[in-house]
């Protein structure tokens, strides 16, 4: 009697299981068949009226059936759970090719990119950063730098004048004097800053940027100046680029030199951008003139030094292949977005 | 300055030297060869010939048939030239000749007439860009000459930029002196000899020289020359002048120019027959003097400028340009030749005043050789005698003032060891001394120290021993100096607060999508009309601006950034985040100039690149809260606390959508929207948000003290409070009241809800705050918190005009 009930239950259960379609169906079946008040429990209540020696066998039979059904229930459950979670994720999807939500990108101005690089290279060599005023006096901009009132070099520095014989500095060199006046050697500084000349064309801007360098100590040599500048130029332009030192003249240095780097466009063969010379003029430098050392209040017999000045716009134009300096100050975003 | 290779070769043997080779040596010694202009590279087989006959071509109106005689044979040549006539001597290219353009000349038949060559113009011979017709030579030119050599058509002209301190090299001989040292070859001096005719005396012209202006003219020499035969300028001289950019005038003027180029000594020739009176007077110009220069322009002379006068007045603006009245012309037979030294500063001031830059002033300005006055005169007399058969009078008027002897170089004490110390070299002492000797310095050993006297032509630039180091270094070559990269350890100074703040602001803004810009610190005064600057901040004006648009030093960064925004908006780029960190300038009433470093960040358009859903579009709009938020985030990063936000009086800003950032009693920044009127001035039709900090001031502010305080380990409990408040009740007032009555157990509170609607009435707003209760040593109980919160709410209600919801 119980055996046939169990067989009936089994057939019915498997039939229902085969028609189950969801996690909900499976959970319903588990309660209906195996739950506390389920069909199997109901059948097992009948065991009480069965002969005692038949009970173990029938009990075992019922347990087997229970295991069998729950195993199938579990299998189906896992299956439906997986299916349903997949369906849910699928329904959440979007078109991944829609435009992303984007904000503007911030970038540095190319002049600042170059300035930062230059400052970083010299910082690695122990130069400290100093700054000075854009509005200067004739004394700091000229006289203290061995450019007295009637010196021809004043004409080369097309100067903007303000009221009260103030002027806009034509180079960052005044900071040499200002620093030497307030500190004692050793001094090893670089001075980035704005400088001004009344000049405007494709390579000249009325305001531009310079980095001045100054190293003053008891025995600074021209040889160290060369070593320092060669290191800088190779770091900036690349190790394979040749560097050339030419004797030159500046009122505030002696000996003076102008430093060229091999043209990168033609590898020194000569092309339009280097005016067929194979070289690009990069910076001016020299040993600090004894008169300058003196006007800074040091004893020129005890102290020597070197100084150099680098035009940042020129470096930026060379690095980024910019032929008109005015682009740098127009701030067209189509230009600035390229750096 | 231009230097023909062939002329330099007069002084140094360079037969085996290529121009490029020489250029390299010059560059390494400090003479920048900017360009080498080669002429006549292709030319060959050009001779001189005379036109014996001219007849019309039977078949062509434009052509003529010429018979050309070269001294031996006669050739028939057909020409299209119009400017030739019988007897003319012209350059002729024979069959087989090559012209400057590379064109090869072959025998040909032109419209049935045989032609054996071509008559040449200057263009065809490679010396003029444009020439009008055939080059007609002087009738005395020998026939059948190799014209390429005769006219020095093949040459390399060096364009050398002479350094300002090397006035001594503004001449062929000067540069040749350097070349002779660089090549280690002897220097040949030009011929200077001439005969003085003791009998000869000019019947006109001065006989006396008075120098009134001792400090402007330390030496003046005048020679008189007569019986000058008006010979044509020889072709070689004309060609050399022309290669240096000087046009031929007449033999006398050409000789003075030639000597100027050759020796660097400016000379001037006065026509003696036009001279008035007996005296040459060299003095300083009085005020209000005008004078007609050679070029027939009337010029006002700088008062105090050196001048030369005769009885009638000024005859020369000394060192700059001679006068028209006594000028040499083709009829001149007798001259006064002036060779003098005028001081550089005076010549420069004088020529600056008249706005002339002449070959002569260029040389005086940089200083000529004080001993060159005599040499220059001698060389000119030699040439005059050789080329024009002139008679040189024994009369020589010369004045040397006291200044003259001080011009000559003084000895310099030099210690070769110190030169090595400065250069970082180990050059043997003898090597250094030899370099100096080769350059014309006289040397005298005093043991370890040497006494060095520079040559007269270097009196202007060599004055101290580092100049000698420079000479040694440049002649041996800067490449020979090692690249040293060691030295004592120098510790970098620590960064200033300003530079740290500046870097932090820049990094923050870039990370927030702001594009850095770089503008001029000079702006237009119109830009300033935007802001009625307080009087204590006066703007600095440039006295000599390039344009009005760049004539005022900015006292506001906003003007520069707004202009950049306008520039880009005009180019249809309307979503912008721009920033600049830069200087502003102003003068205090006491005259002191202040430079402050400001940072300005501008936003406009959408803050998303291209929003396309309603949510995105709403989110993309800038509000005051966005700007305020950016400012607060930045201040947080800078660890600046204890600031206050107050409505701004700044007329540049929107009166209700902006605020000033105060710290104590100073304004250190401003945030908000720019005043629409100001924006319209730049033709911008969209609203502009702006955040500005004065970094110079920010750098002086104290920062948050960084000390760890433990955070609560026990669970917190949140209690919300929502109430209706009158719209006029500001958030600042509500928050202030809450803060002052806050129970000790509240760790934190914040606004979580704010709305206005018709349902709560037009005059009210609904405000919701969350309060976080937490105890540092134990878990708070619900009942406990309820009790505290209820008391707190009662307290608030009795002090704020609000109704709890
Ligand atoms: Zn190149």
- Residues in chain A closer than 8 A to B425 (CB atoms): 222-223
Q: What CA–CA distance (Å, rounded) separates B24 from A303?
A: 34
Are A270 and A310 part of one and the same domain?
Answer: yes
Residues A77 and A195 in one domain: no
CB atoms within 10 A of CB B193: 10
Nearest-CA distance from B575 to chain A in Å? Answer: 8
How far does the centroid of ligand 1 lie from the alpha carbon of residue A267, in Å? 6
* Nearest C-alpha neighbor of B691 from the set B671, B720, B716, B666: B671
Order of strands across the sheet with B764-773? B746-755, B764-773, B717-726, B803-804
Give the residue from B594, B588, B591 showing the smallest Cα distance to B536.
Answer: B588
Chain B residues close to A116, C-beta within 8 Å: none
A160 and A81 share a domain?
Answer: no
Place of tokens 């002048």: B241
Task: State which residue of chain B sits closest to A105, comparing Cα positions.
Answer: B513
- Left if phi > 0, otherwise alpha if psi is -120 to 50, otherwise beta: which for A279? beta
User: Does residue A256 share a domain with residue A165?
Assistant: yes
| Minimum Cα–Cα distance from B470: chain A residue | A255
A55 in a domain, yes or no?
yes
> CA torsion sign, A328 to A330 to A331 to A333?
negative
Q: Verify whether the Cβ–Cβ distance A275 to B487 is below 8 Å.
A: no
Best residue in A99, A120, A121, A160 to probe B by mutation, most B CBs within 10 Å? Answer: A160
User: What pLDDT, on the 0 to 100 scale, is given for residue B533?
Assistant: 54
10 Å Cβ neighbour count for B544? 12
Q: B interface mutation test: which of A254, A260, A339 has the most B CBs within 10 A?
A: A254
What number of other Cβ atoms are within 10 A of residue B760's Cβ?
Answer: 13
Distance from CA of A63 to the nearest CA of B (A): 49
Neighbouring residues of B296: CB distance < 8 A, sequence distance ≥ 6: B324
- Measured between beta carbons, the chain A residues lying within 8 angstroms of B367 are none
Give B-chain residues touching A220 at CB under 8 angstroms.
487
A79 touches chain B (CB under 8 A): no
CB atoms within 10 A of CB B496: 13
Q: In sequence order, what are the beta bridge partners of B114? A: B109
Separation between Cα atoms, residue A40 and residue A32, nearest integer Å:
9
B349–A contact, CB cutoff 8 A: yes
Q: Is B27 on the interface with A (CB under 8 A)?
A: yes
Q: What's the complex ipTM? A: 0.89
A197 lies in the same domain as A127: yes
Q: Considering only CB atoms, which chain A residues are within 8 Å of B499? A: 129
Q: A227, B483: Cβ pair inside 8 Å?
A: yes
What is the β-pairing status of strands B576-587 and B515-516? parallel
Q: How far apart are CA A197 and CA A184, in angstroms?
A: 31
The answer to whether B616 faces chain A, any CB pair under 8 Å, is: yes
Q: Which of the listed residues A56, A91, A126 is the one where a domain comes to its end?
A: A91
CA of A318 to the centre of ligand 1 (A): 11
CATH for A128? 3.30.930.10
Per-residue exposure over B583-593, b if at least 16 CB sit within 10 Å of its own CB, e if not? bbbbbeeeeeb
Tell me: do A200 and A313 sit in the same domain: yes
Determine the residue among B170, B365, B422 to mutate to test chain A binding: the one whose Cβ has the most chain A Cβ atoms within 10 Å: B422
Distance from the A90 Cα atom to the nearest Cα atom in chain B, whole angstroms: 22
Ligand 1 centroid – CA A273 distance (Å): 5
**Does A201 share its domain with A322?**
yes
Cβ of A217 within 8 Å of Cβ of B488? The answer is yes
Q: Are residues A166 and A223 in the same domain?
A: yes
Position A311 scores a pLDDT of 94
| Subunit contact A331:B28, Cβ cutoff 8 A | no
Beta carbons of B299 and B293 less than 8 angstroms apart: yes
DSSP letters for B581-647:
EEEEEEE-TTS-EEEEEEEEEEEESBSSSS--SHHHHHHHB--HHHHHHHHHHHHHHTT--S-EEEE
Q: How far apart are CA A108 and CA B733, in angstroms?
A: 42
Q: Provide the shortest C-alpha distance from residue A228 to chain B (in Å).
A: 6
Q: Quick one: closest CA in A to B585, which residue? A: A135
| Chain A residues 142-181 within an 8 A CB cutoff of chain B | 150, 152-153, 156, 160-164, 166, 168
Q: Which of A252, A255, A275, A289 to mutate to test the interface with B (most CBs of B within 10 A)?
A: A255
Q: Is the peptide bond before A287 cis (omega within 30 degrees of 0)?
A: no
Residues A86 and A115 in one domain: no
If contacts are CB pairs under 8 Å, which of residues 251-270 in chain A contact chain B? 254-258
- Say if A196 falls within a structural domain: yes
A227 touches chain B (CB under 8 A): yes
Low-confidence ranges of chain B (pLDDT < 50): none
| Nearest CB to B484; choose among A109, A188, A224 | A224
With an 8 Å Cβ cutoff, is A198 touching chain B?
Answer: yes
Closest CB to A206: pick one of B466, B520, B608.
Answer: B520
Which chain A positions have a beta carbon within 8 Å of B166's beta carbon?
249
Identify the burial level of B492 via C-beta atoms within 10 angstroms of its C-beta, where 0-12 means exposed, 13-18 middle and 19 or more buried.
middle
Look up tokens 């600046």; give the residue: B640
Tokens read off for B575: 């979503």
A181 and A287 inside one domain: yes
Q: Are B568 and A333 in contact (CB < 8 Å)? A: yes
In a domain, A100, yes or no: no
Quick check: bond before B181 cis, omega within 30?
A: no
Whole-prediction pTM: 0.88
Last residue within a domain, chosen from A62, A91, A120: A91
For residue B97, give the nearest of B136, B18, B153 by alpha carbon.
B153
Partner-chain contact A223 B483, CB within 8 Å: yes
Q: Which of A35, A57, A91 is the last residue of a domain?
A: A91
* Burial class of B185 by CB neighbour count within 10 A (0 to 12, 13 to 18, 19+): middle
Average pLDDT, chain B: 93
CB contact under 8 A, A134 and B583: yes
Where does residue B683 rank: exposed (0-12), middle (13-18), buried (19+ CB within 10 A)? exposed
The Cα A147–Cα A140 span in angstroms is: 10
Q: Are residues A221 and A299 in the same domain?
A: yes
Verify whether the Cβ–Cβ distance A330 to B567 is below 8 Å: yes
**pLDDT tens digit sequence for B399-423:** 999 889 899 999 999 999 999 999 9
DSSP tag of B7: H
User: How confident is the model at residue B534, as a pLDDT?
Assistant: 56
pLDDT tens string for chain A (339 positions)?
A: 788 888 888 888 889 888 989 999 999 999 998 888 888 888 888 888 888 888 888 888 888 988 999 999 999 999 999 999 999 999 988 899 999 988 999 999 999 999 999 999 999 999 999 999 999 999 999 999 999 888 877 877 789 999 888 999 999 999 999 999 999 999 999 999 999 999 888 889 999 999 999 999 999 999 999 999 999 999 999 999 999 999 999 999 999 999 999 998 899 898 988 888 899 999 999 999 999 999 999 999 999 999 999 999 999 999 999 999 999 999 999 999 999
* Cα–Cα distance for residue pair B429/A116, rounded to 1 Å: 44
**How confident is the model at residue A191, as a pLDDT?**
97
Q: If you count residue pairs, one on A and one on B, with CB atoms under 8 Å apart, how many are there?
A: 229
* C-alpha of A170 from chain center: 33
Q: Is residue A105 part of a domain?
A: no
Would you state the structure tokens that stand for residue B93, as one six-digit string? 């290219």
pLDDT in tens, B312-350: 999 999 999 999 999 999 999 999 999 999 999 999 999
Domain with A22, as residue range(s), is 2-91
Q: Which of B28, B352, B424 to mutate to test the interface with A (most CBs of A within 10 A)?
A: B424
How far is the C-alpha of B69 from the C-alpha of B113, rounded, in Å? 18
| DSSP collapsed to 3 states, B387-408 | HHCCEEEEEEEEEECHHHHHHC
Distance between CA atoms of B410 and A106, rounded to whole angstroms? Answer: 62
Q: Has residue A264 been placed in a domain?
A: yes
Q: How many domains, in total, are found in chain A?
A: 2
The residue in chain A having the minimum alpha-carbon distance to the alpha carbon of residue B616 is A101
> CA B279, B283, B285 angle in degrees (round to 5)?
120
Residue A161 belongs to some domain of the structure: yes
C-alpha of residue B338 to centroid of ligand 1, in Å: 47
3-state secondary structure of B118: strand
Query: Residue B528's pLDDT is what?
Result: 63
Distance CA A254, CA B386 (A): 45
What does DSSP assign to residue B477?
Answer: -
Q: Does a structural domain hold residue A86? A: yes
End-to-end CA distance of chain B: 92
Beta strands, E only, B193-334: 196-197, 208-211, 219-226, 267-271, 279-284, 289-292, 298-301, 306-310, 313-317, 321-322
Query: Within A249-289, where are the H helices?
Result: none
Residues A155 and A270 placed together within one structural domain of the fold: yes
3-state helix, strand, coil in chain B (%, to 5): 30, 30, 40
């Amino acid at each position: 009697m119980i055996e046939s009930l169990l067989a009936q239950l089994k057939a019915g259960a498997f039939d229902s299981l085969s028609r189950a379609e969801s996690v909900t169906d499976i959970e319903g079946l588990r309660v209906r068949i195996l739950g506390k008040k389920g069909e199997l429990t109901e059948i097992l209540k009948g065991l009480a009226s069965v002969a005692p020696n038949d009970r173990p066998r029938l009990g075992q039979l019922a347990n087997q059936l229970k295991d069998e059904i729950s195993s199938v229930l579990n299998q189906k459950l896992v299956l439906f759970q997986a299916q349903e979670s997949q369906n849910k994720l699928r329904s959440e999807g979007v078109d991944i090719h829609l435009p992303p939500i984007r904000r503007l990108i911030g970038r540095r101005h190319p002049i600042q990119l170059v300035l930062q690089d230059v400052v970083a290279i010299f910082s690695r060599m122990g130069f400290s950063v100093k700054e000075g005023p854009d509005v200067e006096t004739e004394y700091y901009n000229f006289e203290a730098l061995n450019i007295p009132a009637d010196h021809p070099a004043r004409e080369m520095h097309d100067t903007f004048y303000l009221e009260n014989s103030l002027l806009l500095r034509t180079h960052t060199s005044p900071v040499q004097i200002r620093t030497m006046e307030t500190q004692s050697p050793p001094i090893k500084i670089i001075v980035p800053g704005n400088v001004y000349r009344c000049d405007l064309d494709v390579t000249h801007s009325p305001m531009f940027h310079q980095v001045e360098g100054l190293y003053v100590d008891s025995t600074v040599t021209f040889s160290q100046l060369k070593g320092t500048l060669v290191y800088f130029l190779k770091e900036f332009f690349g190790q394979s680029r040749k560097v050339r030192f030419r004797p030159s003249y500046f009122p505030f240095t002696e000996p003076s030199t102008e430093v060229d780097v091999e043209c990168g466009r033609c590898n020194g063969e000569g092309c339009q951008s280097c005016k067929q010379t194979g070289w690009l003029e990069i910076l001016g430098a020299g040993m600090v003139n004894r008169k300058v050392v003196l006007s800074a209040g040091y004893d020129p017999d005890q102290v020597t030094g070197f100084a150099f000045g680098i035009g940042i716009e020129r470096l930026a134009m060379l690095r980024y292949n910019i032929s008109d300096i005015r682009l740098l100050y127009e701030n067209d975003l189509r230009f600035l977005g390229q750096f | 300055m231009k230097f023909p290779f062939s002329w330099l070769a007069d002084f140094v043997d360079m037969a085996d030297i290529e121009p490029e080779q020489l250029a390299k040596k010059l560059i390494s010694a400090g003479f920048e060869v900017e360009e080498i202009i080669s002429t006549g590279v292709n030319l060959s087989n050009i001779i001189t010939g005379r036109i014996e006959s001219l007849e019309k071509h039977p078949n062509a109106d434009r052509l003529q048939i010429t018979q050309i005689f070269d001294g031996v044979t006669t050739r028939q040549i057909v020409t299209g030239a119009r400017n030739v006539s019988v007897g003319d001597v012209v350059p002729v290219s024979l069959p087989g000749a090559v012209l400057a353009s590379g064109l090869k000349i072959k025998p040909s038949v032109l419209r049935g007439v045989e032609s054996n060559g071509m008559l040449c113009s200057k263009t065809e011979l490679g010396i003029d860009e444009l020439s009008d017709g055939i080059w007609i030579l002087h009738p005395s030119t020998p026939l059948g000459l190799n014209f390429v050599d005769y006219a020095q058509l093949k040459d390399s002209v060096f364009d050398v930029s002479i350094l300002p301190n090397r006035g001594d090299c503004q001449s062929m001989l000067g540069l040749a002196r350097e070349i002779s040292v660089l090549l280690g070859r002897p220097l040949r001096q030009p011929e200077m000899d001439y005969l003085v005719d003791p009998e000869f005396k000019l019947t006109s012209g001065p006989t006396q020289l008075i120098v009134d202006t001792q400090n402007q003219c330390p030496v003046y020499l005048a020679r008189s020359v007569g019986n000058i035969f008006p010979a044509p300028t020889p072709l070689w001289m004309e060609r050399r002048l022309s290669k240096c950019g000087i046009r031929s005038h007449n033999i006398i003027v050409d000789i003075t120019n030639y000597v100027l180029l050759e020796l660097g000594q400016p000379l001037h020739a006065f026509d003696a027959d036009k001279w008035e009176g007996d005296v040459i007077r060299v003095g300083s110009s009085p005020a209000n003097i005008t004078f007609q220069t050679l070029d027939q322009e009337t010029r006002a002379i700088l008062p105090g400028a050196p001048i030369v006068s005769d009885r009638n007045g000024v005859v020369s603006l000394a060192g700059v340009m001679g006068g028209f009245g006594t000028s040499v012309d083709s009829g001149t037979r007798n001259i006064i030749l002036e060779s003098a030294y005028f001081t550089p500063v005076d010549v420069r001031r004088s020529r600056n005043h008249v706005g002339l830059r002449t070959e002569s002033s260029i040389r005086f300005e940089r200083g000529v050789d004080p001993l060159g006055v005599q040499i220059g005169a001698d060389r000119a007399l030699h040439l005059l005698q050789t080329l024009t058969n002139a008679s040189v009078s024994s009369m020589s008027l010369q004045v040397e003032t006291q200044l003259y002897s001080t011009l000559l170089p003084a000895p310099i004490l030099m210690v070769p060891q110190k030169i090595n110390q400065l250069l970082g070299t180990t050059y043997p002492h003898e090597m250094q001394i030899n370099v100096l000797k080769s350059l014309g310095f006289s040397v005298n050993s005093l043991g370890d120290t040497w006494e060095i006297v520079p040559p007269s032509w270097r009196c202007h630039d060599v004055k101290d021993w580092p100049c000698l180091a420079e000479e040694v270094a440049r002649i041996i070559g800067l490449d020979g100096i090692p690249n040293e990269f060691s030295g004592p350890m120098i510790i970098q100074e620590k960064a200033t607060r300003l530079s740290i703040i500046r870097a932090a602001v820049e990094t923050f803004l870039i990370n927030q999508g702001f594009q850095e810009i770089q503008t001029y610190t000079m702006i237009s005064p119109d830009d300033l009309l935007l802001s009625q600057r307080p009087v204590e901040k006066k703007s600095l004006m440039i006295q000599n601006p390039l344009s009005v648009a760049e004539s005022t030093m900015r006292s506001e960064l906003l003007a520069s950034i707004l202009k950049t925004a306008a520039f880009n908006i005009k180019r249809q780029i309307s979503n912008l985040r721009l920033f600049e960190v830069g200087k502003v300038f102003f003068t205090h009433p006491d005259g002191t100039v202040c430079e402050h470093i400001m940072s300005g960040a501008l936003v406009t358009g959408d803050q998303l690149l291209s929003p396309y859903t309603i949510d995105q579009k709403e989110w993309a709009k800038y509000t005051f809260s966005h700007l305020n938020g950016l400012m607060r985030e930045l201040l947080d990063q800078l660890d600046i606390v204890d600031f206050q936000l107050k409505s701004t009086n700044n007329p540049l800003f929107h009166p209700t959508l902006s605020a000033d950032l105060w710290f104590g009693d100073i304004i250190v920044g401003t945030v908000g929207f720019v005043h629409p009127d100001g924006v319209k001035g730049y033709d911008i039709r969209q609203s502009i948000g702006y955040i500005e900090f004065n970094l110079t001031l920010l750098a002086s502010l104290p920062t948050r003290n960084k000390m760890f305080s433990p955070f609560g380990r026990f669970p917190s409990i949140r209690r919300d409070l929502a109430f209706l408040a009158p719209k006029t009740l500001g958030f600042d007032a509500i928050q202030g009241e809450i803060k002052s009555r806050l129970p000790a157990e509240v760790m934190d509170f914040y606004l979580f809800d704010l709305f206005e609607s018709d349902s709560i009435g037009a005059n009210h707003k609904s405000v919701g705050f969350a309060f976080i209760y937490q105890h540092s040593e134990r878990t708070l109980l619900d009942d406990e918190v309820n009790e505290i919160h209820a008391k707190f709410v009662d307290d608030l209600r009795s002090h704020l005009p609000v109704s709890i919801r």
